[in-house]
A and B are shown apart, each in its own frame.
Chain A
């Protein structure tokens, strides 16, 4: 790729920022609120400069009251606005879990369809910056358990840039998980793309020997593993789920039908996880397509530690992903 800056080459952070700015300029009902989104510019600097440009009415710094401002977002969505609410990290979202589960995900159904909650909730997820156990967990799999929510995990700059508009157009609550290790990543916006289909997974690398199914921050580790495997003559297909609920089951089964071998890579804990759900769906729908048992590479089941070597040891790594795939394709 060219080293010279081109308009289509941007960071993930900038892609998120452009998406928010564009959404607010395009629709008077859209506004952003959250902790430190204004004066500070966002904990991860995503919203830097937006307060100055768009004003305090549309970019709202909130007190440290996750339950109140997430609930206020739900109420505002019910009463005709299209709020984007930022929760600084998904660990903090637990303080608002009552509002997310008992109100946002519940009121449309429980009211018999009288009220919709067209809310977008953005939050940072994942480990890698030595922030330890209260800032580093991947809880998107928990939220993907909840009926009524749509869960997105943009991994590429194109998805970060173009998932927000369809999320805001969705009449239902949409949670967007942005992996903290992606914000500094640079990438090329896909030419000609102006919107992302938030119902579909996406193949990031075609292959015939094994399916590596992943999403979010693990995508690039998985692609790196696929490169290693390619050098060994193993062609891995990398499927980016990117929509964690509702899962694009058809895309998963298509890939399984092609490769007959599956490794699922998920930064969440293994037990009762999203990876378990994906694996079970494959077992239910494509058991006889499989030539080998399904393997998983997940985070180790510990609270994420601070020390760098321990943190890295707890996370899925390209070597482990490649080893799992190798073991399926060339057993023994």
Chain B
């Protein structure tokens, strides 16, 4: 594993990271199953293979920080602390869901954890991240806004506009690019004149770096270092996490654009076995630990599914509620 100057990777912390990643993986495996069973509908985008990024970055955030994510955001939501029950009920389209079943998989919002979407327009979340960062700064709060987006967002004007404005105004945003090498089925090389996304930061005199997104500790180290500096100076930072999605783009994807060999090669770098192997090697993880963690996660998922199954549909009479708000929620 990467050297960890600011991360004390003791047994408790190592197991926490492993548990968080496994929790996302198992949750999404259940989602895929529920999709086949037609319990979950709409578009469903799984982050299988990319879990180290959400788990690593969230270690650097406090409760007052903001998170802005994309339509592939179950991992960020769980790692941020959005309750699994509310998340599953949301995918079931139930009133008990975090958005009363109005958003579904692609649009998860949770005020309590300052989770500002779930945004299904590529690049659409970056300007929002600038705004919450600006508001916190103007109100004297020393927060960091973590803004997740895929490498496809770097094709959008919003990416360039937002990096420019963030650097100009010194807005405390940690830009986290999850580069999984394909925008849907279009490979990086077909869409990007400069496929190393982190280098684009230099055009805005912003600091940038590439990180191994398959290594949760490397991500955590980089995120902690970046967040600390952002909190101190207010200046934003671009972190490109190199990763890969093991599964299809969504549930409607024949994966014609990549080879099985490529997928297999990346699966060999799966962040979960990678961490667990290291934890075993240094004596932090025993077979019984893993069995216990899996059992706990399994029970949590079972509980979340039961909660969603028992959920109620929002009354149709409330269809238009919140189109306009009667007050600003406090």
A binds B: yes
A interface residues, Cβ below 8 angstroms from B? 31, 57, 60, 62-63, 65, 67-81, 83, 98-99, 102-103, 107-116, 118, 147-148, 150, 171-172
**Residue of chain B at shortest CB distance from A81:** B135
- Complexed CA–CA distance, A111 and B117 (Å): 8
Task: Tell whether, in the assembled complex, residue B164 and residue A172 are in contact, meaning their CB atoms are under 8 Å apart.
Answer: no
Task: Tell whether, in the assembled complex, residue A79 and residue B135 are in contact, meaning their CB atoms are under 8 Å apart.
Answer: yes
Task: Tell whether, in the assembled complex, residue B109 and residue A75 are in contact, meaning their CB atoms are under 8 Å apart.
Answer: no
Task: Tell whether, in the assembled complex, residue B138 and residue A75 are in contact, meaning their CB atoms are under 8 Å apart.
Answer: no
- Complexed CA–CA distance, A103 and B131 (Å): 12
Enumerate B20-46 residues with CB–CB distance to A below 8 Å.
none
Task: Tell whether, in the assembled complex, residue A110 and residue B99 are in contact, meaning their CB atoms are under 8 Å apart.
Answer: yes
Question: Given A108-B325, A111-B99, A147-B323, list of 9 further CB < 8 A pairs?
Answer: A78-B132, A79-B135, A107-B109, A109-B321, A110-B103, A110-B107, A111-B103, A111-B111, A112-B97
User: C-beta contact mask, B296-330 vs A, less than 8 Å → 1, else 0?
Assistant: 00000000000000000000000001111111110
- Complexed CA–CA distance, A57 and B99 (Å): 34
B116 contacts chain A at the CB level, 8 A cutoff: yes
Residue in A62, A81, A99, A108 whose CB lies within 8 Å of B139: A81
| Contacts known (A99-B124, A107-B109); A80 close to B102, Cβ less than 8 A | no
B interface residues, Cβ below 8 angstroms from A? 66, 97-103, 107, 109-111, 116-117, 119, 121, 124, 126-136, 138-139, 157-158, 161-162, 164-165, 168-169, 321-329
Q: Which of A69, A74, A114 has the most CB of B within 10 A?
A: A114
A319 to chain B, nearest CB (A): 40
Residues of the A chain whose Cβ atoms lie less than 8 Å from the Cβ of B139? 79-81
Residues of the A chain whose Cβ atoms lie less than 8 Å from the Cβ of B165? 62-63, 65, 68-69, 72
Task: Tell whether, in the assembled complex, residue A102 and residue B124 are in contact, meaning their CB atoms are under 8 Å apart.
Answer: yes
- Complexed CA–CA distance, A46 and B121 (Å): 34
- Complexed CA–CA distance, A113 and B323 (Å): 8
Residue in A68, A77, A108, A109 whose CB lies within 8 Å of B162: A68
Residues of the B chain whose Cβ atoms lie less than 8 Å from the Cβ of A111? 99, 102-103, 107, 109, 111, 117, 322
Task: Tell whether, in the assembled complex, residue A108 and residue B323 are in contact, meaning their CB atoms are under 8 Å apart.
Answer: yes
**Residue of chain A at shortest CB distance from B136:** A79
- Complexed CA–CA distance, A99 and B130 (Å): 13
Query: What are 11 A-B pairs at a CB distance below 8 A?
Result: A68-B126, A69-B127, A69-B165, A71-B124, A71-B130, A74-B128, A81-B134, A110-B109, A111-B117, A113-B100, A113-B329
Residues of the B chain whose Cβ atoms lie less than 8 Å from the Cβ of A63? 161, 164-165, 168
Residues of the B chain whose Cβ atoms lie less than 8 Å from the Cβ of A148? 323-324
- Complexed CA–CA distance, A110 and B100 (Å): 9
B217 to chain A, nearest CB (A): 31
A52 to chain B, nearest CB (A): 20
- Complexed CA–CA distance, A267 and B36 (Å): 52
- Complexed CA–CA distance, A172 and B326 (Å): 8
Residues of the A chain whose Cβ atoms lie less than 8 Å from the Cβ of B136? 79
Task: Tell whether, in the assembled complex, residue B127 and residue A112 are in contact, meaning their CB atoms are under 8 Å apart.
Answer: no
Residue in B101, B117, B138 whose CB lies within 8 Å of A81: B138
B77 to chain A, nearest CB (A): 13
- Complexed CA–CA distance, A31 and B137 (Å): 13
Residues of the B chain whose Cβ atoms lie less than 8 Å from the Cβ of A78? 116, 128, 131-132, 135
- Complexed CA–CA distance, A102 and B168 (Å): 26
**Residue of chain B at shortest CB distance from A60:** B169
B142 to chain A, nearest CB (A): 14
Task: Tell whether, in the assembled complex, residue A72 and residue B130 are in contact, meaning their CB atoms are under 8 Å apart.
Answer: yes
- Complexed CA–CA distance, A70 and B158 (Å): 11
Residues of the A chain whose Cβ atoms lie less than 8 Å from the Cβ of B107? 110-111
| Contacts known (A67-B161, A71-B130, A81-B138); A115 close to B109, Cβ less than 8 A | yes
Closest 8 CB pairs of A and B: A75-B131, A71-B127, A79-B135, A68-B161, A112-B100, A65-B161, A111-B109, A113-B322
A181 to chain B, nearest CB (A): 31
- Complexed CA–CA distance, A114 and B324 (Å): 12
| Contacts known (A108-B322, A114-B329); A74 close to B127, Cβ less than 8 A | yes
Residues of the A chain whose Cβ atoms lie less than 8 Å from the Cβ of B325? 108, 113, 116, 171-172
| Contacts known (A102-B124, A114-B329); A109 close to B102, Cβ less than 8 A | yes
- Complexed CA–CA distance, A115 and B157 (Å): 26
- Complexed CA–CA distance, A162 and B162 (Å): 33
Task: Tell whether, in the assembled complex, residue B324 and residue A99 are in contact, meaning their CB atoms are under 8 Å apart.
Answer: no
Residues of the A chain whose Cβ atoms lie less than 8 Å from the Cβ of B168? 63
Task: Tell whether, in the assembled complex, residue A68 and residue B158 are in contact, meaning their CB atoms are under 8 Å apart.
Answer: yes
